[in-house]
Amino acid sequence: MIVIDWGTSSFRAFRIATDGAVLDRRSAPRGIMHVEGGRFAETLREHIDDWLTAGESRVLLSGMIGSRQGWKEAPYVPCPAGAAELGAALVDVPFDGAQGNVQVKLVPGMNGTDASGVAEVMRGEETQIIGALAMIGSNGLACLPGTHSKWVRVEDGRIARFTSHMTGEAFSALRDHTILGRMMKDGAPNDAAFNAGVTRSAEPGGLLHHLFGVRTQTLFGKLAETDGASYLSGLLIGHELRAELTGAQGEVHLIGAPELVALYARALAACGAKTISHDADASVRGLIIIGEHARWQ
């Protein structure tokens, strides 16, 4: 089987043996935003044609490739749900393989609501959670840092509910498109400045007030221009964590890119939370598990 994590900016493909071992892997900056004219079939063939020629006939895709902006929209599966529900809701995509009999399926995203009934959606993170369930256990809390960070509550081995935070996107927008960025200079990440931002997030005033302090701290020489980005990162992540940790118990399972996971682990420790970090290949394991529940011909 071939499993593919196809997101907004990247494409990661893995050839999987019958026992679940990864036989080969490859990646490219060919996320859905970098595929012109909806040429998804051609892009897929370009990257995996040799695997198809070698006899692979089952291809499972997850991520934004199944969104409205992707190849074909795969409807959301409501919470609570697990691998069985996701596997039963896979969407078939027509694809002409060079050897014939190639089946391409999309993993659906998931939807739910927050505590106030406002809609929540995710697409791609569900495969990472499924892949990490063996470590999370039947019940637990997971955080998936990223452009839109997800906090996922697992109950009885299924994804019960989740919330989203636009932390990564807010950081980029504030740094690149507001007055805060005018006083930021490139520099190496500064742990002390990051920690100071996390500490500030616990103080009175709220996020919007704290953000203006990024500028004034620099104006009055309390924050170096090269440390502004690290301070801003700590401030935003700190506010995210404190919103999610209210009433939370137990360890937080961190899943994602090593650099982001390390940042969140440091911030969570500063907030008094214990963490367990998982590797970024959880999505591969999740796709394999979901694929076991698929209705292949």
**Both structure tokens of 228:** 């502004």
What residues contact residue 96 under an 8 Å CB cut-off, 6+ apart? 41, 102
User: Read out DSSP for 130-143?
Assistant: HHHHHHH-SSEEEE
The 3-state secondary structure of 144-187 reads ECCCCEEEEEEECCEEEEEEEECHHHHHHHHHHHCHHHHCCCCC
CA neighbor of 99 nearest in space, from 154, 54, 166, 43: 54
Q: How many angstroms separate the CA atoms of 128 and 108, rounded?
A: 13
pTM of the entire predicted model: 0.92
DSSP state of 62: E
Q: How many angstroms separate the CA atoms of 193 and 126, rounded?
A: 33
pLDDT score, position 246 = 83
Beta pairing, strands 77-78 & 11-16: unpaired
Question: Could you count the other beta carbons within 10 Å of the beta carbon of residue 180?
Answer: 21
End-to-end CA distance of the chain: 13
Q: Look at residue 25 and give its three-state secondary structure.
A: strand
- The domains found in the chain, sorted by start residue, are 2-114+122-136+283-292 (3.30.420.300)
Question: How many angstroms separate the Cα of 296 from the Cα of each of 1, 79, 105, 179, 253?
Answer: 11, 24, 9, 54, 32
Task: Spell out the long-range contacts of 90-93 with Cβ–Cβ below 8 A and sequence spacing 24 or more.
Answer: 90/60, 90/290, 90/294, 90/295, 91/66, 93/61
User: What is the pLDDT tens value at each position of the chain, 297 positions in all?
Assistant: 999 999 998 999 999 999 999 999 999 999 999 999 999 999 999 999 999 999 999 999 999 999 999 999 999 999 999 999 999 999 999 997 656 689 999 999 999 999 999 999 999 999 999 999 999 999 999 999 999 999 999 999 999 999 999 999 999 999 999 999 999 999 999 999 999 999 999 999 999 999 999 999 999 999 999 999 999 999 999 999 999 998 777 899 999 999 999 999 999 999 999 999 998 789 999 999 999 999 998
Question: How many angstroms separate the Cα of 259 from the Cα of each of 197, 256, 293?
Answer: 18, 8, 33
CA neighbor of 122 nearest in space, from 138, 137, 108, 109: 109
- β-bridge partners, 187: none
Q: Are 123 and 91 in contact (CB under 8 A)?
A: no
